[in-house]
Structure 1
Amino acid sequence: MIIVYFIGTGGGAPNKRGLPAIMIRREGFDALFDCGEGTQWRMMEHNLSFMKIKLIGITHMHGDHVLGLPGMIETMGMYSRKEPLFLMGPKELKEFLEDIFKKTYFYPNFEIQIIDKYEDENIKISTFETCHTIESQGYLFEEKDRLKIDIDKLRKEGIKDWRVIRMLKEGKRVEINGKVLLPEDYLIVKKGIRIAYTGDTGPCEKVINAVKDVDLLIHDSTFIDEKEAYKYGHSNSYDAAYVALKANVKRLALFHISPRYDDTYEMLIMAKRIFEKTFIAEPLSYYIIRQKE
């Protein structure tokens, strides 16, 4: 099971929706994507621990996506963080942080590792290029596929020995009562969950190709129907819906909503006409995705 926390879902200047910040949690692994101003405060207010965050990914260096990061890192240090923190982001991110640490006379007392991608036995996190006005990258959070044994099939064949089941799961062939059991005949692939977050982007083929078939696409939806969206490297809600449709995603969350919209009803309707399985990423809401067979 994966939980996506929409901590801040607005964009531009500080507003009631909060500035961009999304946390993805999978079995004790918390990853934060973008860290707009006020992110740590919103997390504290709603009992979400930023101390447990293992990785932070920044999409680009515009202030509404990154200005909350130095303060959060400093607070982690003040709270005696010991665990290393992984950082992903544009090439300017390292210099940005080093300059702030120097000028504020603060240096983290824990290790910060700047990486291009992350992978462990359960998940992998990678980037893809988006179409904004400056260098910008989106993120793919992917749960690895798992192999499980078809217990029902084995039981129907009268096999209940856990040692046999374990060997098949390890990919070993087993001979029992004169019959050879091949692991490929009893293994089921349990597909991992895949989530894509674009950050700021206009609609483009690069993004469509990168997010194909994901379970959840969190896409820029700054405006309802404004030509200026493309000038500033953003998307209208129907643009996000077209991306979702062409990429064959399972669900679409509209994100980075301009503070000019107090009511998002029209924005949602515009998108749902094109891609029905769309919802508004409301601030401080969450979305649960369970692993599929």
Structure 2
Amino acid sequence: MIRVYFVGSGGGSPSFRGLPAILVKREGWSVLFDCGEGTQWRLMKYGLGLTSLDAVFVTHMHGDHVLGLPGLIESMGLLGREKKLYVGGPRGLREFLTESFKWTRFNPPFPLEFVDSLEVGGMSISSFPSCHTIDSLGYVVKEKDRVNLNVERLRETGVKDWRVFRLLKEGKSVEVKGVKLDPETYLTTRRGVKVVYTGDTMPCEQVIRAAEEADLLIHDSTFLDEKEAHSFGHSLARDAATTASKSHVKALALFHISARYRDASPLVQDARRFFPHCFLAEDVSFYDVRA
């Protein structure tokens, strides 16, 4: 199971919604996606684990998604962090952090490793290009598939040797008393869950392909019906719903809500006309993702 916390669900500028930040946790590992101003304060206030973060991935270099990151890293250092922090994002992120540390006279006392993708704690994290007004990325978080052996079925055939079990689980055929046992007959695969976060994006084919059969899609849903949405590199709530439908996802979270909507329920109502299984991401709420 993967638990997704919507640390901040708004966009543009701070309001009654926090700036974009999503925390993904699985079995002792935690990864932050985007880090708007105020993110570290929310992580600390709600006990979500500031110093325990293993990685931070940024979608693009607009301020509402990245300006909280230098301060978060500095706080980690002040709190005595020693373990490595993985950092991923678009072009310019490394230079941005280096210059921030230079001018604030801060040298991280722990290693930063810049990566394009990562495998941690049974999860893989990879990026795909989204469609915003500047270079931007979305991210796919995928839990590894779990292969299990149907031991009871094997025992029904009289096989009880653990060495045979091991070879079959490794995907190897085994001959027992002149009978060939094929792994396909006795193995079952439990699909790992898939979570996709678009960052800021207008509707585009890259997102549809990346989100294919996701268990949860977190999609830019900045506006309700503003005509200028796409020229700003953003999506309407119904755009997010249409993408979810085309990608055959299980659930859709409407995210990056404009501050002009104190009551965002009309966005949900409109989106549900195109994709019923959607909900509004609310600050510091969470969603458990299961296959």
TM-score range, shorter chain: over 0.9
Aligned positions of 1:148-167 closer than 5 A: 148-167=148-167
Instruction: Tell me, yes or no, if the aligned pair for 2:215 and 2:249 is still in contact at 8 Å.
Output: yes
TM-score after normalising by structure 2: 0.96
SS for the counterpart of 1:24 is strand
Q: Please tell me whether residue 80 in structure 1 is matched to residue 80 in structure 2.
A: yes
Counterparts of 1:288 and 1:2 in 2: how far apart (Å)? 6
Give the letter aligned to residue 64 of structure 1. Answer: D
Structure 2 stretches of 5 or more lacking a match? none
SS for the counterpart of 1:65 is helix
Instruction: Tell me, yes or no, if the aligned pair for 2:21 and 2:33 is still in contact at 8 Å.
Output: yes
Which stretch has the larger CA shift, 113-122 or 196-205?
Answer: 113-122
Counterparts of 1:142 and 1:88 in 2: how far apart (Å)? 16
Q: Deviations over 1:98-142 (max 9, x none)?
A: 111011100101100111111357222111111111111111111
Q: Please tell me whether residue 59 in structure 1 is matched to residue 59 in structure 2.
A: yes
Aligned positions of 1:233-272 closer than 5 A: 233-272=233-272
SS for the counterpart of 2:70 is helix
2:5 maps to what in 1?
5
| Identity in percent | 54
1:204 maps to what in 2?
204
Q: Deviations over 1:222-255 (max 9, x none)?
A: 0111112112111110010011111111111000
SS for the counterpart of 2:54 is strand
1:140 maps to what in 2?
140
2:16 maps to what in 1?
16
1:285 maps to what in 2?
285
Structure 1 stretches of 5 or more lacking a match? none
Give the letter aligned to residue 180 of structure 1. Answer: K
1:118 maps to what in 2?
118
Counterparts of 2:265 and 2:58 in 1: how far apart (Å)? 29
Counterparts of 1:286 and 1:121 in 2: how far apart (Å)? 20
Alpha-carbon shift at residue 196 of structure 1 (Å): 0.6
Point out 4+ residue stretches in structure 1 off by more than 6 angstroms.
Answer: none
1:172 maps to what in 2?
172
TM-score after normalising by structure 1: 0.95
SS for the counterpart of 1:51 is coil
Alpha-carbon shift at residue 203 of structure 1 (Å): 0.9
Instruction: Tell me, yes or no, if the aligned pair for 2:18 and 2:283 is still in contact at 8 Å.
Output: yes
Instruction: Tell me, yes or no, if the aligned pair for 2:57 and 2:89 is still in contact at 8 Å.
Output: yes
Alpha-carbon shift at residue 177 of structure 1 (Å): 4.1
Alpha-carbon shift at residue 212 of structure 1 (Å): 1.2
Distance 1:280 1:121, change over 3 A: closer
SS for the counterpart of 2:230 is helix
SS for the counterpart of 2:51 is helix
2:39 maps to what in 1?
39
SS for the counterpart of 2:201 is coil
Counterparts of 2:74 and 2:81 in 1: how far apart (Å)? 10
Alpha-carbon shift at residue 172 of structure 1 (Å): 3.1
2:219 maps to what in 1?
219
Aligned residues: 291
Counterparts of 2:180 and 2:129 in 1: how far apart (Å)? 49
1:98 maps to what in 2?
98
SS for the counterpart of 1:185 is helix
Counterparts of 1:145 and 1:260 in 2: how far apart (Å)? 41
Give the letter aligned to residue 8 of structure 2. Answer: G
Counterparts of 1:165 and 1:126 in 2: how far apart (Å)? 33
Counterparts of 1:162 and 1:229 in 2: how far apart (Å)? 60
Alpha-carbon shift at residue 273 of structure 1 (Å): 0.8
Counterparts of 1:120 and 1:77 in 2: how far apart (Å)? 22
Alpha-carbon shift at residue 261 of structure 1 (Å): 0.9
Q: Please tell me whether residue 107 in structure 1 is matched to residue 107 in structure 2.
A: yes
Alpha-carbon shift at residue 191 of structure 1 (Å): 0.9
Alpha-carbon shift at residue 160 of structure 1 (Å): 4.1
Which stretch has the larger CA shift, 156-165 or 75-84?
Answer: 156-165
What RMSD, in angstroms, separates the aligned Cα atoms of the two structures? 1.4
